[in-house]
Structure 1
Amino acid sequence: MNLITLENISKSYSEKTLLNNIKLNITDEDKIGIIGVNGTGKSTLLKIIAGVENYDNGNIVKMNGLRINYLPQELSFNPDDTIMEAVFKGDLEVMITLIQYEKVLTLLQKNSEDKRLQDELFKLNSKLDALNGWQIESEAKAILTKLNITDFSMTMGQLSGGQRKRVALCNVLISPCDLLILDEPTNHMDNELIDYLEELLKARKSAVIMITHDRYFLDRITNKILEVDNGNLYSYTGNYSTFLEKKMERIAMQESFEKKRQNLYRKELAWIKRGAQARSTKQKARIQRFEEIRDSKIELKDTSVEINTGSSRLGKKIIEAHKICKSYNDRVLINDFNYILTKEDRIGIIGSNGIGKTTLLNILGGRIEPSSGEVVFGETVKLGYFTQENSEMNPNLRVIEYIKEVAEFITTGDGSKITASQMLERFLFEGSIQFSYISKLSGGEKRRLYLLRILMEAPNVLLLDEPTNDLDIETLTILEDYIDNFNGAVIIVSHDRYFLDRVINKVFSFEGNSEILQLVGNYSDYREYKQEVLQEVVVEKVSVEKKNKNIEKNKIDKPIKFTFKEQKEFEEIDEKIEEKELQLEEIQQQVNNSGSNFMLLQELLATEGKLKEALEFLMDRWTYLNEINEQIQEGKNNN
């Protein structure tokens, strides 16, 4: 079923054309990934589809009643909203009711005797029953918990940028919709969270269209790739791996067509120059064909980023970490960390968010001091530090000014000199954009410019903190090649599994409790190692359980009859279990009928918990007593 159709949509900013008469159909079965160099209009396309940005020309046709949920890159939020209020933001009646319920519940917790609030809660409770709102609430809390957000009473203003993004993601995931639009959903997520989001999107029934630079994510989720290139939109059926093959075929076909056009153009141009005059219909037609050939030129624009900067000499002694410890208040992030960096090292630092990865990188880069221990730097070390936030960029500088702060001329890797402007062109900052203010650039363009500045300073040790956030795939591919040929050590904090597999040869993994596992290999090697360790733990657990069962069996083998107390318990256990089950059923019925009485509800839930514990104990005793009875019966039969 067709959800939305874009017909000849165009969009320009000043003199720059982002989208030029593009066409697109999205069906209910589509899982679409959008890729392209930063600044080419990917996010603009998503905004146009979401209906939050206007277009210059064209037409959009939507299915009647089409419901769209949109997760933008730049979030707008009320800092005073609680997490649950932010999660339930939306125009649907069920979402509005859930917000009202959360607000009344919060007020009632502060003033449990308020009759008006109790009555209001009862009404909302009944309304949510009718709207099936409890399922949405349960799903929201389950997703938030999986996304490592558990204190639902916190306000949005108290959260980090990454946490706010996850709350907004939860909002669009739980709201019923026909088309889900996601702009960089995996940014600021660790690998475990990305795996979880993959499973959610794979199981999702609605259509999905998203921008992401996570190539494994694209491979596992998408069934269609859209490439935005030079104002055009190219569609490829299949995932990212299929796209790579089909794009090469498209480029080869275009190059072949353009070569033939040029040959034919030269022949027709020679005929025109010989003085052909429009004396006949045949000659007029040939002149018209010449003009069509001339105007049908295919722009084979090279959109690849070229990194070709010089480097500095690096001695044998680089960075040495001796007995490094780091604590904040009572929390120990790093404990007794030791490492001697070598020139060949390509190290990936991994672990969950907030566990200390960037802290370790900052210590190794000399930006913060350890609580104890020392970091020793070699005399020839020249650090290039790529931070997460681009905080070192002055937004009031023009692009060319920012680069000229490093040098007017740059020595490239092959020893030649080029101007700052030429270097910018190699990084796809052409023409007038070089004189734009940094504040006017897209997030991805800022990251690309920031990376260029760092590499231009010819470092011999690279520290990269989340380099894949907001960088387009093409730039990432070139950065990977640059790291391959980089004549120095590289340390990277990243959650991009493809990038880590591509460039690293060692892993520093934060395992929790300030433990940092050091492992030779890439990210997939680490995952394989963890699976092996997990398997060993499972085997060991099974072995222990088997041993315990044998011990229990021996204990059971010994008695040939019940004790007086056990015999009495065995005779009464079924009746006691039935009694507890009836009590539990009655309490659960009272819970369902007491939504308006907050205090009573709390008491009933506490009683329900105790009854469940008592019933569980009785069931364990029932199992134990029946095992003894079976042993007694077997003994009688054997005799």
Structure 2
Amino acid sequence: MPTVHLVADDVAYGYPGRQVLEHVTAHVSAGQRLAVVGENGSGKTTLLRVLAGELAPSAGEVRCEGAVAVVPQEMEHEPGRTVGDEIDEALVHVHELAAELDAATRDFDHERGDLAALTELLARAEHVAAWDAGRRVEEALSRLGACTDRTRELAHLSVGERHRVRLACRLAQRADVLLLDEPTNHLDDSGIEYLTAQLLETRAAVVIVTHDRMLLDDVATAILDLDPAMDGRPVLYGQPGYLSFRFAKNQALHRWRQRFRAETKRREVLAQRLDASYEGLSDEWRPPKGSNKNRRGTRARIHVKAADRLIERLEAQAVEVPVPPAELHFPDLPAMAEDWPRAAALEVLAVRSPRAPGRLDLPGTRIAVPPSGRLLITGGNGTGKSSLLAVLAGTLASDRGERVLLPGARLGVVGQEGMGVQAGVDLSGLAASVADGATGFDLCARLALRLLEAGALDPELVVPVAFLGLLPEEDLDRPVADLSVGQRRRLDLACALLAAPHVLLLDEPTNHLSIDLVDELTLALRRTPAAVVVATHDRRMREDLADWPTLLLG
């Protein structure tokens, strides 16, 4: 078998009016696992589509050997398409190869047959373990917690369930090149453990777009950061491990920011010198009235030339240092006790014995969130983490027990799907505005007006979306429908923070976010005076929040 590999050579790609990728170079051989990281909107998903051949690069070249399997973040599905259809499509090449081998061995002429061709065919079949494909896909579906009913329509599955079906099928396919976009989203610990084992065992060339910091530690043999460095190019970190990557990048960012500050200060000093020089031209060098006009003009010309030489010298010394990446500016959220001192000894939010048929059942359980309180909710897929968050938020009714929210308390909610909102406020029509071409600024303005009308917003405490550093102004001015999944996730968070909530309810907050932002967000959640409830499967975030009170479901 030839060595399978994937090569991207100085690749670039852009959408109309917006360049996404430039100077991307990477080489992934069989058995290597390249992790791709970068800020939301930096082109990670676009790069996977270019590598898969779905998009043609505007510059550079992509070379790929062997069969390619892709698992995108968002799985589109045709009406009526079933789990069985997905399985059959993934294994069609494997079944064809098995049938070809059966026919070749059955009809092989031992006297005049081409033994070399038969040997090559057998090697290809062994490479994909064609005779074991059915068992592999059943095992993968089961281990990832995916639907195993072949007749089930994909349209009737949740986003996470569809993702797990596609991932299981592509892992069982044993393609030569495997391209995964945020594969640990929607997986619990057991699913991630199975995925990790499969990636470590595969002989494929693997490219993984991920925000999962522990997955980087466990499987990545190299890390490609699409966030441009000071020279404007992506950086390939050959030393594996998240902590090594984090240290190297932090050092580079520190040097970049130091140099930018120094260059900015130097330009200010030189500009002041230049201003003083021209000021001197008009005042200091002007001889008294009645003096020789020719002498006055000569001295003026000399001073103009001196100023021009200074300008030339400044331009020659100038160093173009681009603006460093923005940092998260998490707002100073209020604690409920600050707005209502009597609340200090009370609970801002509490639910007792919640039950949502088929989704959540916690008899005898009371969950209470005090001012500035913390709660970490964990558990496997299907144990009710998202449902409990929705009951706390008031967006899912419980048919048993009670829910109590302190009067005047503002909630900021980020669900796994859809917009981050102030819970309990009618937001009908806002989602439709996205389809109508609303920009991020439009959406936040409409949300603020809706909250204001409902009395759920203090006009003195509105958090400006552009202040947060979650999205640059040029992206906030773009239609929301044109933003990447990660950029929309950032907008969700901005919407949740808009009303300066007393309580933040975050469901899988690390999903689709860049690892840089995840690090910054984790630190902000630990420091904020507001109460915070987090439901997450992210192993590193659970480690970072291990000292919080924890509720394990399931």
CA distance in 2, matches of 1:302, 1:226: 17
More helix by share: 1
Alignment of structure 1 residues 297-316 onto 2, 5 Å? 297-311=320-334, 313-314=336-337, 315=343, 316=345
Whether contact under 8 Å (1:89, 1:96) holds in the other structure is no
Q: Corresponding residue for 1:361?
A: 389
Change in 2 beyond 3 A, CA 1:91/1:52:
farther
Q: Deviations over 1:351-379 (max 9, x none)?
A: 22222222222222233332222222222
**How far did 1:454 drift?**
1.3
CA distance in 2, matches of 1:200, 1:353: 20
Change in 2 beyond 3 A, CA 1:439/1:259:
closer
CA distance in 2, matches of 1:332, 1:433: 38
Change in 2 beyond 3 A, CA 1:44/1:343:
same
Whether contact under 8 Å (1:317, 1:377) holds in the other structure is no
Determine helix, strand or coil for the equivalent of 2:161.
helix
Q: Corresponding residue for 2:235?
A: 234
> Higher relative contact order at CA 8 Å, sep ≥6: structure 1 or structure 2?
2
Q: Corresponding residue for 2:131?
A: 134
Q: Corresponding residue for 2:300?
A: none
Whether contact under 8 Å (1:88, 1:98) holds in the other structure is no
Q: Deviations over 1:534-574 (max 9, x none)?
A: xxxxxxxxxxxxxxxxxxxxxxxxxxxxxxxxxxxxxxxxx
With the length of structure 2 as denominator, give the TM-score of the two structures: 0.74
CA distance in 1, matches of 2:265, 2:366: 64
One-letter amino acid of the counterpart of residue 93, structure 1: H
Q: Does residue 509 of structure 1 match 2:510? A: no
Alignment of structure 1 residues 204-603 onto 2, 5 Å? 204-230=202-228, 232-237=233-238, 238-254=240-256, 275=305, 294=318, 297-311=320-334, 313-314=336-337, 315=343, 316-319=345-348, 321=350, 323-328=352-357, 333-391=361-419, 394=431, 395=434, 396=436, 397-405=438-446, 423-424=465-466, 426-503=468-545, 505-511=548-554
Whether contact under 8 Å (2:360, 2:383) holds in the other structure is no
CA distance in 2, matches of 1:218, 1:189: 16
Whether contact under 8 Å (1:37, 1:229) holds in the other structure is yes
Whether contact under 8 Å (2:257, 2:324) holds in the other structure is no
Whether contact under 8 Å (2:7, 2:26) holds in the other structure is yes
Whether contact under 8 Å (1:309, 1:455) holds in the other structure is no
Change in 2 beyond 3 A, CA 1:327/1:407:
closer
Q: Corresponding residue for 1:40?
A: 42
CA distance in 2, matches of 1:174, 1:304: 40
- Greater mean alpha carbon deviation, residues 205-214 or residues 362-371: 362-371
**How far did 1:305 drift?**
2.3
Whether contact under 8 Å (2:350, 2:405) holds in the other structure is no
Whether contact under 8 Å (1:345, 1:489) holds in the other structure is yes
Change in 2 beyond 3 A, CA 1:91/1:276:
farther
Q: Does residue 85 of structure 1 match 2:85? A: yes
One-letter amino acid of the counterpart of residue 449, structure 1: L
CA distance in 1, matches of 2:141, 2:373: 37
CA distance in 1, matches of 2:185, 2:95: 26
Q: Deviations over 1:287-339 (max 9, x none)?
A: 8x986754x5231423322222442633132246465141527x872222123
CA distance in 2, matches of 1:419, 1:130: 59
CA distance in 2, matches of 1:318, 1:308: 23
Taking only the aligned residue pairs, the percentage that are identical comes to 25
CA distance in 1, matches of 2:328, 2:334: 18
**How far did 1:133 drift?**
3.1
One-letter amino acid of the counterpart of residue 415, structure 2: T
Change in 2 beyond 3 A, CA 1:383/1:208:
same
User: Which of 26, 29, 33 pairs up with 1:27?
Assistant: 29
CA distance in 2, matches of 1:14, 1:129: 45
RMSD: 3.8
Determine helix, strand or coil for the equivalent of 1:152.
coil
- Greater mean alpha carbon deviation, residues 149-158 or residues 88-97: 88-97
Whether contact under 8 Å (2:213, 2:540) holds in the other structure is yes
- Structure 1 residue runs of 5 or longer lacking an equivalent are 100-127, 409-414, 512-639
Change in 2 beyond 3 A, CA 1:435/1:360:
same
**How far did 1:388 drift?**
1.6
CA distance in 2, matches of 1:98, 1:480: 49
One-letter amino acid of the counterpart of residue 364, structure 1: L
CA distance in 2, matches of 1:2, 1:260: 47
One-letter amino acid of the counterpart of residue 185, structure 2: N
One-letter amino acid of the counterpart of residue 4, structure 1: L
Whether contact under 8 Å (1:83, 1:154) holds in the other structure is yes
- Greater mean alpha carbon deviation, residues 478-487 or residues 391-400: 391-400
User: Which of 201, 204, 216 pairs up with 1:203?
Assistant: 201
Count of residue pairs the alignment pairs up: 467
**How far did 1:142 drift?**
1.0
Change in 2 beyond 3 A, CA 1:366/1:239:
same
Whether contact under 8 Å (1:345, 1:506) holds in the other structure is no
Q: Does residue 146 of structure 1 match 2:143? A: yes
Q: Corresponding residue for 1:61?
A: 63
Change in 2 beyond 3 A, CA 1:376/1:43:
same
Change in 2 beyond 3 A, CA 1:19/1:373:
same
CA distance in 2, matches of 1:446, 1:31: 28
CA distance in 1, matches of 2:59, 2:497: 40
Which structure has the bigger radius of gyration?
1
Determine helix, strand or coil for the equivalent of 2:185.
coil
Determine helix, strand or coil for the equivalent of 2:226.
strand
Determine helix, strand or coil for the equivalent of 2:532.
strand
Whether contact under 8 Å (1:346, 1:503) holds in the other structure is no
Change in 2 beyond 3 A, CA 1:258/1:444:
closer
Change in 2 beyond 3 A, CA 1:417/1:239:
farther
Determine helix, strand or coil for the equivalent of 2:328.
coil
Change in 2 beyond 3 A, CA 1:352/1:426:
closer
Whether contact under 8 Å (1:318, 1:381) holds in the other structure is no
One-letter amino acid of the counterpart of residue 401, structure 1: D
